[in-house]
Structure 1
Amino acid sequence: ALVEAPSRQRRSPPGADRSTVHPEGTGLGRDHGTAAEPASGEPAGDGPPDAVLLRDRLLLELLYGTGVRISEACGLDVSDVDQARRVVRVLGKGGRERAVPYGVPAQRALDAWLRDGRPALLAPGSGRALLLGARGGRLNPTTARRIVSGWAGAAGVPRVTPHGLRHSAATHLLEGGADLRAVQELLGHSSLASTQIYTHVSVERLRAAYRQAHPRA
């Protein structure tokens, strides 16, 4: 419901593109020298509304479809996306680089954003940033968190953070039968112990299925 919310509306929800003052003000995107969008004072609905919706849709699809961290998503450049193989190159913690696949829904959102959204928000300071703020700078992680929160409210779901989407991605991968080591690689965890925290939900569902189906349960 959350990921599909921007596709069902014609304007961003109140506060979805507004944020509080970022403690660091402006910053640089990755190590490319691209100016980051100031997180303070970005009003909801500022910029072409259709473009902002397309941006929000891609942000949500990427966060859930890849399980990347919010800082990693905001740090992506256009050149980091391999559309032919549907793989995104992510620069994670400690400068570790990894390749993460994404699905067809994210590809559709990406196509629409690159065709109709990003060109409308493009500004002299945009650089190579994939996701842009309403004023054309690289999307700020603080603003991105507000976008996720705003759409969660619009979708009528409990409060969701970008990390919550990452958690959901990991949990659903494991519940679908993905190997724990593969999920570790996708999430960019240096230790398998970090990935194992996502297994408890799967274990609970397994226990529920056991109680329901096993004659000796």
Structure 2
Amino acid sequence: MIRRRSFLSLGAIGVLAGCGAPSPGPAASVGTLQDDWHGTYLEGGGAPLPDLTLTDQAGQPFNLATDPTTKAVALFFGYTNCPDVCPGIMADMATAKRRLPPDLVDDISLILVTTDPARDTPEVLRDYLARIDDAFIGLTGDLEAIKPAALSLGIDIAQGTQLPSGGYEVDHGTYVLGFGEPRTMQVIWNATSAGDMKDDFERLIAS
């Protein structure tokens, strides 16, 4: 089962995951413009996109911090064998992007970083994302490198839980993280509809 994390608030929102996770970079307070956003807006920005090079679904290196060329990035940590939560969240992300005005649709990158790289090879990611939306960038690599990068953004990735069938599930935070051109976290989405996310994508692109 995937645990849905709650915010830890110590006078300022800055942490997404539980389990004693540290704040992702400088504390970011809920912004005065929060009412304009459907997600949680972080005034002043949160943690930056990690300087981490992984492998995309084409087998090419991709650095999270430097390779996105769009005005905005929507980042999600999940995995292809996730039974229910991940596909729904990613479908909403893809739908939100497709609903953008034509002149904005190419201004945001949708990125999936796997929490299960042992099974999520580039080929597996390519086939999986083609069924959801091939606009996604899928990234895999060393789990021991992915976990601290995720934690720096407040996303906790736990050890896989064995299932009676012989397989396993990976417990992880299920927030979608939004980054503008400064490449610092600006908005966090939790159980946000595709329509509301589309509105926030427009705001993020314009920020």
Smaller-chain TM-score bracket: 0.3 to 0.5
Tell me the TM-score normalised to structure 1 length. 0.32
Tell me the TM-score normalised to structure 2 length. 0.33
Higher helix share: 1
Higher strand share: 2
Q: Rg bigger for which structure?
A: 1
